[in-house]
Amino acid sequence: MGHFCAVYCLVFDKTGRLFVTGSDDKLIKVWNSRTCCLVRTMRGHVSDIVDLSVSCDNRFLASAGNDLDVRIWWLHNGVPAFVLPGHQQVIANVRFSWAMHADLSQSLYSWGHDGALREWKISSDGSSFSSRVFLTSEAQVPPGPHPPRKAPEILCATIHRWGSWVAVGCSDRMIRIYLLNSKISRPIRWNGHMDRVEYITSNASGNLIVSGSLDGTVRIWRTDKFLTLVDQRILNLRQGEEQQTGRSVERVKVNMVSLSSDGSKVISSQSLEKKRKDNKWLCRIKIWAVDTGELIHNLRDAHEQPVFVVEAHPSDPRVMATAGYDARVVLWDIVGGKAIKEFHIRFPLDDRLSPIDFDARTSDILEGKWHPDGTSLVLTHKNGHFSILTCGNYSENLARTAREQFFQTDFGELSMDVQHNVIDLQAQVPPHLLP
């Protein structure tokens, strides 16, 4: 345990030696993945942490908070590098580019509910950055960080592996694709969904984009190398289910959409917005063929609450992990459609969490990531804990690991100046300089 509030953010570094957690308690914590010992705490945000990302060269960590700031940190020592203000509404996510540019610089992308996709280009030595903005309103960007008017919200995005484009899902039911290497700022627009597009992902080659919407469908968009749409398939999430007679159509909510590691299958998690009285069909995990859109497996009865963690194994395309608000973890063989192993994670009730966050006493699983080598799975919980499932023997590594790990200065109050730099209010020094 390293947080007193829900932990919604989790990311591994590129070596797998460290993983980083971000919580609603405003703290970012770096952990040793073998011993689970707390390495350092990064303080700077004055509100909930909403997302984390590690750069492709493993030098930088990016964090986004509900304070509308994006912060860049040196990963090896936790020293802040940049504060990137500019977003005017909630930031949805931040992501580093998959690879560096020819001049050894790299790009960080952030997007949010202000309808702005921002690209921050960081120099090779980390001493400077430049930025540009793409707007869903398709209006010219004036000087300064403020969008000219209210634009459709950007809810999700996927980045091409080689940095050619970024595809975003928006609140106006549109998918927009921005060409990063073109002088044309107007995006390519795809219509099809009947409601907000909340999930989007793409395969490694970039010729396939998968989107999930509140309209209860998942769509597979296939393109050529010029991003011309050549095929579209609609996955009806009601397929394979029996509709109750004498009732209005129940609305299906898409909770997560993912691709298998080889890109041959789409995995969708969906549930009903309201629980049925007969407790049937509360949650389903479905496996679809990418080429045909055919439903391959309908995985039932494994989860009793919505599932928001759907993680394909990084090296074995047959294996997938799912976890949800019922604190259950299931490892699946998605070829045979069978559960390999099931876990139910429980924690003793901790009354210390009540004054901070009453709902955080539960062990709901909020996020999960595979170790880069695929030998372990880290999961974060609503009660501030994290769990590790591993196929190795961790008993010796964890023998001396404390169950609760905090630094004395973790919860000191911060003061922010006009440039969004912070100091510890009691010590009157930047937090990273405290012992």
Instruction: Quote the CA–CA distance of 409 and 329 in Å, as a whole number.
Output: 34
Q: What is the DSSP letter of 397?
A: H
**For residue 131, what are its two tokens?**
């930025």
Beta partners for 379?
368, 387
Weakly modelled stretches of the chain, pLDDT under 70: 138-149, 242-250, 273-281, 349-361, 392, 394-395
Sheet with 175-179: list strands edge to edge.
154-159, 165-170, 175-179, 188-190
- 7-241+249-433 domain in CATH 1.10.10.60? no
Contacts of 61 (CB under 8 A, 6+ apart): 11, 20, 28, 42, 52, 53, 54, 55, 72, 73, 74, 75
Instruction: Quote the CA–CA distance of 431 and 42 in Å, as a whole number.
Output: 8
Contacts of 309 (CB under 8 A, 6+ apart): 256, 321, 322, 323, 324, 365, 366, 367, 368, 379
Q: What is the pLDDT of residue 349?
A: 67
Nearest 5°: phi and psi at 190? -115, 130
Q: Is the pTM of this model over 0.85?
A: yes
**For residue 166, what are its two tokens?**
């970024």
Write down the residue that tokens 């997560």 correspond to.
256
Q: What is the pLDDT of residue 354?
A: 47
CB atoms within 10 A of CB 357: 18
Q: What is the pLDDT of residue 353?
A: 53
Contact status, residue 150 vs residue 115, Cβ threshold 8 Å? yes
Which amino acid appears at position 376 of this protein? S
DSSP 130-199: EEEEEETT--PPPSSS--SS--PPEEEEEE-TTSSEEEEEETTS-EEEEETTSS--SPEEE---SS-EEE
Nearest 5°: phi and psi at 361? -75, -10
